Each structure stands twice: as structure tokens, then as C-alpha cells.
Structure 1
């Protein structure tokens, strides 16, 4: 006890002495680049203190701080520039002027990133790849969603917009899927708060599912950092086994208030119309041998349901601060109409953050964000009725307009397209609050303690109304559904940095995290509505449903990094993770990590031989393990009996799936290594990465013997492999004081394979056409295929029609075609793998040019070697509204060809590869155009302007299973992604 008291007294005395010797001083100056141009937004900080400032639009800064006498260091940091340290000596002067010139850092190796809550690390020390995107790139992408704006910005990240609905869901995959039944979404963290990005389907329509990151305004973002794979899980826990997307919002800056005002208007339009039946003919008879035709009028239904629409986005923020307090506040309003008639999205949001310095070694921060959004939706696409499915299932010789009595003519077994638009009422409303409280302590030099308490509350409410008299629900229906999710995370982390000697340094990090979430789902639905009633009240048949779940996650870690000569860094970590969804004996698991980073360019032999060419050359390697804590639900390990009513009394029935208390988390082991290099005086940067993932103990359903009384039980039985290559190349071919041209390119490949599945395969979506199959990538299409001749040509029937292959299967499950005496297929209908929705590679190319006050940007995104299952094409084969029917009517193909192809899945597998002109923008800035105005910037941005593809329908990027993990590439009646042209103005005062 005496020793503890002595240590405590010593620390207090050191702090007191430090405060006594520190004196107040004003430090100011200007920061410029190698061409003498000033750099705004540079962070200026006295080393080993929390004292700092940020340069203004003219590159000037002023820093008021208490500075200790003697030698000090001023540190300058900015994204895209090498960190600059400027020593200075303080004696008793009241002002000090320190100017700095910063050089370009094309790969950002000197950039300080967040590798854990409160853990700051230079990228050069990290053994795994970590990527950054600036808030400006996000805000100027013309995307309404943060995740959509990430498309093409980073290597190894595939971003897909699953619907063209105004707030349509977006899928993000870092590298590849890592589970079959669970989620492969990365973990999203906003300012230390683990946030919910669930896909909320409150309308029961897969085609209009939203992500909850659509609640966040992209203009509030300062930067985004992305860590891929198991390396992220060492500090963030196994919930980050699919990677981490860290979102940092804007903060206040010491100095006079800075007001930013932006407004924009966007114009949305249908980028491409698909071919339809334009033949002014119809068959006189249903007999396919009768080729007699009669004249009819054909209608283009696309012109009746799509529209050119507009939207607006308005934003205002104020940021400022005094010596010990800074603040940031913003308000925003967005309204956007969809290109599908009857759809729109409206969002209002606000953010407040206050940072307070409590004393020289303690600071606190509190922030909150709120948003509310409303959308009008129409059923469109996916599994079930909708506007576009009605078109697919209709013969377009029918005029859908109301008759003289106001009745809608029948188009097919689904409602009339105008009936949807005029009479259906489908709405969503979302309320969101994200708040955090953070405390940062630096009680002694080198020790940094950070505590974060985060809270995320999201509620989505959906209501539907279908009027009396429609084809699908003759008596009318109404429903209301609510999904409410609350998340809480409490994180305590400490980092201690010390110099063991002049050449050795040590960084020790430890932390503990506790997380909890609970979800409530409530719904009430009714059919048989009373006349004039749009709610469930008084309906003839009413049903209710309720689901509640609670989960907790916990974990702790210790990580140690040793650095030698600021060029070799070795890191080791161990983490314990637990989750309440697993049984008591299996819920706690250990996961190790090791990594290495070596800056060869810091060696003398390298400088002497290659230093004139290579500005930096780093090799890195990382190995780590992680578990998937979300592959099963809170109750999946249990035998869950179902409640029923029997003669008015409650009862229970046995389930088809037995529980299994011995389930353990899926375990992922990943090896990653790569090189980072910059050449030719930082004009060229190259980042290359190879990775290999092995996932074991996949949680899959095993079929049980009938004698057990149940059909299946979840067990740890499957395995999965991923391996891939990622490349990022960035170059500045031309750079002068007035003109800069920069180029960034990305290229990524991934090979996925699933194995050890019982029964060889099982269906996972796309009407069971998508499967998980041993030896194949996840989600391949397995179904019927064409019968062919030996030369590969189609084997036709005697009537000249294509047909499905028939035969039998060998002992390994491979299909064997068989022929009868006439050479025609015989036996059972055969199936095989007919397509793969996983791309061979994804790539992007970004060109940026600035000339004085002008700027230009062009981004191309490419997804190649991917197959899609086009249900659009299949329905057009059979129901008369597609080009296949026109070919038959015009005599270009045998009558009945479309109906024959309808039953052969291979016939509607299409090449889904595309190259998209994702972004095209131009801007012009005016610096200090008026008194009191620092900057005005005008922008013109286009998004999804062009798509170079061979897809027969609207857009190969969309997906009918929304954000599904394994079921990808299915397209049926989905709203296409619109072309967007946006005019914007941003002013800073």
C-alpha cells in the first residue's frame, strides 16, 4: 500500500511540476506545399499534447497553448501529405511564428489512422492494408447514401446498389462472403459508435428494402477508413471479421465560426429502356401450329410507369471554437423523387458535437445525430406482385388506361399498373438517433486512455393499403409493421507508447468492449376491409405477429508493437470474444493476430542504390483469426416450440429443427501480405496485396433421421475458402502550381469455394436456383440446361424447338446425357451449374484534373465475368410482351420458341458484366469573391450516366434478394438505377 501511495504521489507531483513550468504562448504561421500553394485543413499539434489547431482556407493557423520551457515539436498532418515535425524552443516569448512546407505522400504512409477506438497509428507501422476516403469525395459523389459513394474508391471493395428506389438498399462486400447463413456485411462504426445498418423490410417487398445508413447525410462526413478481413477483428472483435468501415464526422475547429452552406438540385431519369414487343400483330389462335396473325396495337408500358424526376439537398453547418472548447452543428434536408411514379424519399437530419478540454491531460467529447425520413413506395420487383412484374407477365396489346366507368382493365393475374400508382398506399417512416460520450485522458506522457459510450436507436414503421377489388387481394388489405433496434456499446482502451532506447520504441494497447442490442418486430395485417377504410380496424380477418430478441457481445484484447529505427514494426495481439447467442461452454473464444511492417527504403543500402527512384518501399504481412458471432440468431441454439391455439386453448407443437447447445462460432483464419511503394518523387504510388482466408465450422443445417422426430439441426460442418489479389495504383503525371492531373486505378480478384456441405448442396435463394454447393463458389446457379449436339449446337425437337437436357447422374452426382433411338433426349430432366454471380474481377479508374480554380473528375467502375439470372428475360419469353414474342410473330423464330426457353434456366442466364461511367463532375471555385465570404464552389455532377454492357434488361447491377449474403444476381421487375445530374453550390463564410 505504501508503494502504491508513493507512486500516486509521484504522478501528482510530476503533473504539478509540468503545469508550473508551462507558459501560455501564441503560435501562428502558414502551411504550403512544394509549389508554394497554401494547404487548408492541416492539423497542427504540439507533440504529445492535445493542443492543436487547423489551418483555414488560406493555409493560416493560430494556436494558443500552454507550452513547457525548452525544446518542443510542432507536428503538421494532412491527408495526402507526409507528416512534418518542426522543432522549436520556447523560453519566454509571447508569440512564435512557425511556417511549414509539406510534401506529397501519395500512399499516405505517414497518415495517422484509427486502428481501434482511440488508438492512433501511422499507416507505415501497420502490417495489413487500411484505406482512406476523404469526406469531400463522399459528398461530391452525388450519391444519397454513404456506402454508395464508396463504389470504386478502394481496392477490394464491391459496392452494389440493389434497387433504383430513391433509398434503395446497397450491398458492400470487403473481399468476399465469409459465411453461408450469416451476414458478410462489414461492421460500421460512426465516431466510435457501433451502428445498425440492417436491411429493414417493413413493407414485405424485397424490391424496396432500405439500408439504415441511408439515414446519414454524406456531407457530415470528414473521412472514412476501411480495414478488411481478420486484421480488423483483433481490436474491434469478431463482429468485425468481415472488415470495418469507420466513419468519422466533422468536428469544430478553434477560431472564428465557419459557416458552410450548400444547396443542390438533381434531375433523375431512366438511363435505358429495354426492348419490348413492337410487332403490331397477334396470333389468331392459341394453336402453335396455326401461324395466322391479326393486327393489334402494342403499348410501351415503360413510358406509363417511369418519369423524369427532381430532388433537392440542402445543408448548413457551423463550426468554431475557443481555446478549450470547439463545436460543430449541422442541419440538412433532402427530398428526392423516384423515377418510378408514386415513389419519393424525404430526409431531415441534424448533428451536434462539442469537444471540451477539461485540463492539460483530460478532454471530453459529446455528440448526437438525429434524422427522420419518409418515403412513398410502390410494390416493384422481387418475389411477388409489383408494377414491373405486372409488365413482365402481361401481353402488351392491352391498354391499361381506365375505362369510361373508372375501372382498370385486367392486364394479368397481378393488378393493373395504374392501379398500383393511383390507389395503392405503401409508406415507410424511419427515426434515428445516434449519440456518443467520449473521455480521453493523458495522465502521463505516452499514456492515452479513451472511453466511449455509444447508443444507436433506429425505428422503422411501414404501412400498406391495397384497395378492394384488385386481382391479388379482392377484398382489400392493410398492414402496419414496426422494426425497432437499440444498440449500446461501451469501450475502454488504453495505449502506452515509450522509447525503450534511441532506436527501439514500444506501443502497448489493451481494451475491453461490451455491446448489447435488442430488436422488437411487431406487425398487424388484415384482409377483408370495410368500404372506405384504409387501416386494419374493422377488417374481416386480422392477424398479429411479434418477435423480440436480445444479444450481448463482449471482448478484451492486448496488443503489443515494437518498432526499430522507425522502419521495422512487429505486432502481436490476442483477443477474447464472447456472445450470448452461443452456449455457455462455447461462447468465449480466443483469437490471435500477428503482423509485420518493414520500410526497406529506410535502409542505407536501399537509399544508396534505389533511393533516387523509390521514395518509399514497404513490405508487410499479417495473420489473424476471428469468429463470426452473427451467423446464428439469439434462439437458434435452442429447440423452439411453436405456439398454437387448439379449440380456444393455447398449446405448443414440436419444431422441425432441433436445438444444439454445443454450437461454436465460425472461425476465420486469414493470411495477408503485400508491398507499398512510391516512386519518382511521389509521382507514382503502388499498393499490392494478396490474401488467403480459410473459414471453418460453418454453421449449416444437417438433415436428421426421421426417427428423431425433427427434420434438421444446425451444426458446425462446412468450410469455405477465399483467396484474392488487390492492387491500387495512384499517379500524378503532371503537377505544377496551376495544373494537376492525378490518376487512381484499382483492381481486385477473389476466388471463393464452399466445401463439406452435407448432401453436396442446398438452396439459398432465387426461387432455390442459387445454391451452396461443394467445390463451387457460394451462390452459383444450379438448374436445367440446353440439350446440345456433339458440336455444341442446340438439339431441337422435331418441331424445331429447343429443349432441356435429360439423362441420369453418375455416382459423383455429375449429369450424363442420354438419347433414345431417334437421337432425342431421354430420362430425367438434368441440372448442373449454369452460372456464377461472383465476378472474375472488379476495377475502377479515376481521373482528376485541376487548373487554377477549375476541377474535373471522371470515374469508371467495372465488374467483369459475372452472370445474372434474368427472370425479366424468362417472363418475356412466355407472356407476350417481350422481343421474343415479336420475333415469333414476325417469323424470325419458330412459334413456341419462347415458351420452350421459359422452361430451360440456361436460356435466361445472361452476362452481367458492365463498365459504368459512375461519376463525372466539374467544379469552379471562387476564393473570397465577396466580403465575408471565404469560398464559393459551383459543381455539376453526373452519376450512373452510361453503362457499357450486354444485358437485355435495364441494369445488371440490381439484385432481387436485396442485401442477401449468398443469393446474388437474380433480377425480376426491379426499379433500375437512375441516371442523375446534379447542380450544386457550396459557400463558406
Structure 2
């Protein structure tokens, strides 16, 4: 068809010893197609639209990350002595139904360019649905096991990605090119029989109907101007603040995120600047929980200057309660006061270079690069991108995490 219509299809089969005897094999097909609309007669001679392609794809992938080689088997371990006699003991519960985690993904998109490719737009929309999600479920200690692996979750992701590239100006001496991209992902746990708690003070909750990595907190309403005590939302309406009053309040997922890159060249000079941004995500500032504890923590803790904003006398309006080493309610573990907006704009990278014309050498370029030169954010911690743990289900908690370093580099590129 002259390259106007493209289609491809594939299928793969993967086997793994991690799964049950009848579940070892997974079959994962994919299909994709594209239509080069620009090659149609009604667009072929257009001087405005220089390219247009529409594409779509559907595929299934499998996942076994985090599993041991024999995760579905009941395992025993040696070294369990009893009254001086050598012995063995159960190490792992069997789950013969353990199987591949499967993700179905549908993509659709378009690539369009105008004015001889001076303006290009790429749009992608997608929907991913994960079934048989692999999770480690806790067990009562009386069983003799702490947890076992199971296919117990279903999770959906849907969103879009938009990229725009513009050649703003270009001639033999000067050029200026801008690239902008923005994306949004909506995550939701579609199926999970029982909520799962993760992270310090169980700050992260996985619960059906909410996003992964949601924050589970006591929502602080205000500090009583007369008493200086913290007032939390009494969700259960029983007149007491208990674990039943904890609620989901935001997650690590931004509403939008992306970046902006500008590249400028003038004769031998070149400048490249990359700005990254994120909007709408939450970060739990656990450093502030300890440093703004008002005496409710142990005496060895750091004291933050924000304690100066504490309630001190009747009539004071503040969100920092009175210091009280006894009334830990004012500084309750998991209070929403330390849950902050993690939105930011960051100059991720700036590079300035100059190419020196030298005889008998193909290219000689000197350059200077700076990384993380500045960050604009309302987050009061050291870095809005901090996470104290690399564990998959414990993201978004900032506790003693070093910020991303600001760095500088000088270099020379020499090509003969």
C-alpha cells in the first residue's frame, strides 16, 4: 500500500519456576498499526501540514519482579535446632495458584508537523489495566509465617503525554529550538480485598478505590485559639480521636508533570536549559514531624525554627500547637500538618558551550554544566523529590533524605 498503512503483530511465551505447576507459562500478544495520512492525496501536496501519522496499539505484558525462584512452593529451611538436635522448619507457605501478573495496555496517538517540520506535535493517550497483581500479604503471627505472596490486586492507569517541538528561529548563524512536554497519569486500585499499610507510622495505605501510595493521616482542622490544642477531624463521630479517624488525604501522584527545554546556538556558542516541573503531588515531611514536636518527642531531637510560630497565649492564630511533652495528641503520629504540597519547578540542567575553530581538528568544544541550580517550591523540606525509602510501596516520605546535589562541571570535547 505504498507505506501508507503499517501493522505488526507478535506473541511471546514466558515460563518461570516462580509460579505454580499449572501456572508457569504466560502468553503475551501485541498488535499495532499506523496510518500515514500525509501520504494520502488530500494531504500529499499540503504546504502547511508536512507530516501526519495516526497510530494505535494493544499489548499484554507479564511481570514477576520481586519473586524468588520458587515463590509458589512450600519451602523448608535447615538450621532450626531443638534441644541440641539439628532440625528443619517451614520457611515459606505454598501458593500453587500463584501466577503471572498481567498488564493490558491500549495506546493511541498522533504525530503531526507543520511548516516544513518547524512545529511538531506528538500526542499519546493510554489505558493500562493490571490484573493478578503480585502483593505480599501479612498473616497472623499465630500461623508461624509473617506473609505470603498472592495475586490479589487489580490496578488501572490512564492518562496522556503531549510533546511540542518548535523551531522558533533558524538561519546560518542563529537558531532557537524549544521542546515542551506535559503528562498526566490517573492511578486507581480497582480491586483489593483488604487495605495494606506501608511505611513509617503506616503513613502509606493501599486501599480499593484510591490511588497507590496514598497518605493515611489524621486530618488537622485547626489549633484551638483558646487552648492551643490541635483539633482533628472526628471521622467516626464518637467524640474521640482514634485510628478509626485516619483518612486518605492525597498521594504521591502529581496532577501534571513535564519539562521545558530551550536550545540556543549563535555562531560557535550554544546554550541548553532544561526545566522540570511537577504539580499536585504530596510529600510527607517526617523531618518536620520530629523537629517541630514541641517536646513530645525525645530530648535528642533537633528543634526547628518553625516552633517559634507555636501557640503561646489565648487568641493566637496558628497551625502549630502549644508545646507539651505529655499531650502527644498535639503532635500525633501521622498528623496531616506535615503533609505538604510537593509541587516544584527545577532548573535541572544548564549547559553553556563554545566551539573553537581550529585547523586540522574536526571539533574543539569547551563547556560548563550546572545541575539542580535552583528549585521553586512551597515544600519546606530540603527537596520535594525526596523519598526516605526505595521500597516500591513506601514512596513520598521524606525522613533524613539528602537533597539532590547542586553540581558544576567543566569539560572539553575534542574530535579529530
- Common topology (TM > 0.5): yes
Counterpart of 1:910 (choices 319, 336, 340) is 340
**Map of 2:396 onto structure 1:** 969
Structure-2 separation of matches of 1:674 and 1:920: 31
CA contact (8 A) 1:841 1:863 kept: yes
Give the number of the structure with larger relative contact order, counting CA–CA contacts within 8 Å between residues 6 or more apart: 1
1:796 and 2:198 are equivalent in the alignment: no
> Shift of the alpha carbon at 1:913?
0.8
After superposition, the Cα gap between the structure-2 partners of 1:864 and 1:706, relative to the gap in structure 1 and judged at 3 Å, is closer
1:955 is aligned to: 383
Q: Determine helix, strand or coil for the equivalent of 1:803.
A: strand
Contact 1:805/1:829 (8 A) holds in 2: no
Please give the alpha-carbon distance, in whole angstroms, between the structure 1 residues aligned to 2:23 and 2:196.
Answer: 27
**Distance (Å, rounded) in 2 between the aligned partners of 1:970 and 1:687:** 34
Q: Deviations over 1:734-775 (max 9, x none)?
A: 11111111000111110111132122x102334421121111
SS at match of 2:306: helix
Say whether the 8 Å CA contact 2:203–2:334 is kept in structure 1. Answer: no
| Aligned residue runs from structure 1 range 222-371, under 5 A | none
The verdict on how the C-alpha distance between 1:753 and 1:974 changes in structure 2, with shifts beyond 3 A counting, is same
In structure 2, do the counterparts of structure 1 residues 716 and 605 end up closer, same or farther at CA, with 3 Å as the change threshold? Answer: same
Name the CA distance, whole Å, in 2 between partners of 1:704 and 1:767.
Answer: 19
Give yes or no for contact 1:801–1:897 (8 Å, CA) kept in 2: no
- The one of 664, 667, 670 equivalent to 2:99 is 664
Give, in whole Å, the separation in 2 of the partners of 1:904 and 1:582.
38
Q: What's the CA shift for 1:897?
A: 7.1
Which of 287, 305, 312 matches 1:872?
287
Q: Where in structure 2 are the equivalents of 1:45-84 lying within 5 Å?
A: none
Structure 1 704/919 Cα, relative in aligned 2: closer, same or farther at 3 Å? Answer: closer
Look up the match of 2:308. Answer: 886
Structure 2 contact 216–334 (Cα < 8 Å) conserved: no
After superposition, where does 1:378-777 map in structure 2 within 5 Å? 564-608=1-45, 611-642=46-77, 643-655=79-91, 658-701=93-136, 713-759=148-194, 761-777=195-211
Any stretches of 5+ residues in structure 1 without a counterpart? Answer: 1-563, 789-793, 807-814, 820-824
Residue 676 (structure 1) shift: 0.2
Q: Does the 8 Å contact 2:228/2:311 carry over to 1?
A: no
CA distance in 2, matches of 1:854, 1:827: 63
Secondary structure of residue in 2 paired with 1:968: coil
Gap regions ≥5 residues in structure 2: 294-300
Alignment-derived partner of residue 896 in structure 1? 323
| C-alpha distance 828-667 of structure 1, shift in aligned 2 (>3 A) | closer
Q: Deviations over 1:186-207 (max 9, x none)?
A: xxxxxxxxxxxxxxxxxxxxxx
Contact 1:869 1:908 in 2 (8 A): yes
Counterpart in the other structure of 2:297: none
Q: Quick check: 1:871–1:970 contact (8 Å CA) kept in 2?
A: yes
Distance (whole Å) between structure 1 residues aligned to residue 303 and residue 141 of structure 2:
47
Shift of 1:938: 1.0
Contact 1:803–1:904 (8 Å) recurs in 2: no
Query: 1:21-76 CA distances to partner (integer Å, 9 max, x unpaired)?
Result: xxxxxxxxxxxxxxxxxxxxxxxxxxxxxxxxxxxxxxxxxxxxxxxxxxxxxxxx
Which residue of structure 2 lines up, in the alignment, with residue 922 of structure 1?
A: 352
- Tell me the distance in 1 between the aligned counterparts of 2:396 and 2:22: 39
> Does residue 255 of structure 2 align to residue 840 of structure 1?
yes
Residues 865 and 912 in structure 1, CA contact (< 8 A), matched pair in contact too: yes
2:367 to 923, 935, 939: 939
Distance in 1, Cα, partners of 2:356 & 2:140: 75
**Is 1:830 equivalent to 2:245 in the alignment?**
yes
Q: Is the 8 A contact 2:370 2:409 kept in 1?
A: yes
Relative to structure 1, is the Cα distance of residues 944 and 826 closer, same or farther in structure 2, using a 3 angstrom cutoff? closer
- C-alpha distance in 2, partners of 1:897/1:943? 43
> For the Cα contact (< 8 Å) 2:342–2:378, is it kept in 1?
yes
Contact 2:362–2:415 at 8 Å: present in 1 too? yes
> Aligned with 2:308: secondary structure?
helix
CA apart distance, 1:584: 3.3
Q: CA deviation at 1:831?
A: 0.5
Distance 1:890 1:828, change over 3 A: closer
Q: Which has the larger radius of gyration?
A: 1
- Alpha-carbon offset, residue 645 of structure 1: 3.0
Take 1:770 and 1:961, find their aligned partners in 2: how far apart are those partners?
Answer: 12
In structure 2, C-alpha distance between the alignment counterparts of 1:618 and 1:580, rounded to whole Å: 42
CA distance in 2, matches of 1:650, 1:862: 59
- Shift of the 606–826 alpha-carbon distance from structure 1 to 2, 3 Å rule, reads closer
Task: State the alpha-carbon separation in 2 of the partners of residues 904 and 870 from structure 1.
Answer: 10
- Distance in 1 between residues matched to 2:93 and 2:225, nearest whole Å: 48
Aligned residues: 400
**Alpha-carbon spacing, 1:950–1:652, altered in 2? closer, same or farther (3 Å):** same
Structure 1 residues 653 and 859: alpha-carbon distance in aligned structure 2, compared to 1, 3 A threshold: same
Decide which of 207, 213, 216 is 1:782's aligned counterpart.
Answer: 216
Q: CA deviation at 1:651?
A: 2.1
Whether the aligned pair in 2 keeps the contact of 1:797 and 1:803 (CA below 8 Å) is: no
Distance 1:867 1:801 in 2: 25
Q: Decide whether aligned partners of structure 1 residues 714 and 620 sit closer, same or farther in structure 2, where only a CA change above 3 A counts.
A: same
Deviation at 1:966, TM superposition (A): 2.6
1:804 touches 1:829 (CA, 8 Å); kept in 2? Answer: no
Compared CA separation, residues 705 and 873, structure 1 to 2 (3 A): closer
Task: Give the RMSD, CA atoms, in angstroms.
Answer: 2.5
Distance of aligned partners of 1:719 and 1:799 in 2 relative to their CA distance in 1, 3 Å threshold = same
Q: What CA deviation, in whole Å up to 9, does each residue of 1:845-899 have, x standing for no partner?
A: 0000111111011111001111001111101112451023333498776632796
Note the C-alpha offset of 1:582: 1.7
Q: Is the 8 A contact 2:20 2:73 kept in 1?
A: no
CA distance in 2, matches of 1:803, 1:851: 60
Q: Output the CA distance in 2 between the equivalents of 1:706 and 1:966.
A: 22
* C-alpha spacing 1:625/1:938, structure 2 compared with 1 (3 Å): same
CA distance in 1, matches of 2:214, 2:290: 21
CA 1:802–1:569 in structure 2 vs 1: closer, same or farther (change >3 Å)? same
Q: CA deviation at 1:687?
A: 0.4
C-alpha distance in 1 between matches for 2:386 and 2:216: 20
* Alpha carbons 2:312, 2:322 under 8 Å: kept: no
SS in 1 for 2:230: coil
Question: Which segment is superposed worse, 713-722 or 825-834?
Answer: 825-834
Provide closer, same or farther for how the CA distance between residues 635 and 797 of structure 1 changes in structure 2, counting only shifts above 3 A. Answer: farther
Q: Measured at CA, do residues 897 and 955 of structure 1 come closer, stay the same or move farther in structure 2, by a change above 3 Å?
A: farther
Given that 1:921 and 1:940 are in contact with CA atoms closer than 8 Å, whether structure 2 keeps it comes out as: yes
**Cα distance, 1:591–1:874 mapped onto 2, change above 3 Å:** same
Change (3 A) 1:568 1:848: same
Query: Residue 817 in 1 paired to residue 237 in 2?
Result: yes
